[in-house]
Structure 1
C-alpha cells in the first residue's frame, strides 16, 4: 500500500473522520508496524495537532508558544 494513502488515512483519523473506502483500521496498523516513515509522519502530525490545540486554547496561547509552533512548521525545521 502506498504511503500517501496511509497518510491520508492517518490525517482523517486524527481529525475524527472516517477512513478512506477500502482501508480498515487493521490494514492501517499493519502498514504502520512495518513503515518507520509513516510512523514518524504520524508522530509529527499528532505533535502538530497538539501544538495547534494548545496555541488555540483560550487564555493559554501565549506569543512564545505560537512562535515556537510556527518555527516548527517552517520547511527544514527539526522535529520537536
Structure 2
C-alpha cells in the first residue's frame, strides 16, 4: 500500500470524513502498525489538528498568539510533509 494513499486516509479520518474507497479502518490501522514513517506523519497531523482546534476555540486571544501559531504552522518541523508529485513512494522505506 502506498504511504501517500494511507496519509490521505489518515487526513480524512482526522477530519471526520469517510475513508477513500477500497480502504478499511482495519487496513489503515494495519499499515500504521508496520510503518514508522506514517505513524510519525499521523502524530504530527494529530498535533497540528489539536493546535488548530485550540486556536479556533479561543478567537478572543490576542494577535500575538495568532501570529505565534502561524509561525509554528509555517515551520517544517510542525507540518506533516506531503508526498511531492513525481517522487517515488517507497512505502515508508528509505530508497537506496
- Is TM (by shorter chain) over 0.5? yes
- The offset of 1:64, in angstroms, is 4.5
Alpha-carbon distance in 1 for matches of 2:36, 2:62: 34
For structure 2, the residue ranges without an aligned partner over 5 or more in a row are 79-96
- Partner in structure 2 of residue 68 of structure 1: 68
- Partner in structure 1 of residue 38 of structure 2: 38
Q: Decide which moves more: 53-62 or 23-32.
A: 53-62
RMSD: 1.7
Q: Deviations over 1:12-33 (max 9, x none)?
A: 0001011000000010011001
Q: Deviations over 1:28-48 (max 9, x none)?
A: 011001111100111111111
- Partner in structure 1 of residue 4 of structure 2: 4
Matched residue count? 78
Q: Which has the higher helix share?
A: 1
Q: Relative to 1, partners in 2 of residues 1:55 and 1:62: Cα closer, same or farther, differing over 3 Å?
A: farther
- The offset of 1:66, in angstroms, is 2.6
Alpha-carbon distance in 1 for matches of 2:21, 2:37: 23
Q: Where in structure 1 do 4 or more consecutive aligned residues deviate above 2 Å?
A: 58-69
2:17 matched to 1:17? yes
Q: Which has the higher contact order (CA 8 A, sep 6+)?
A: 2
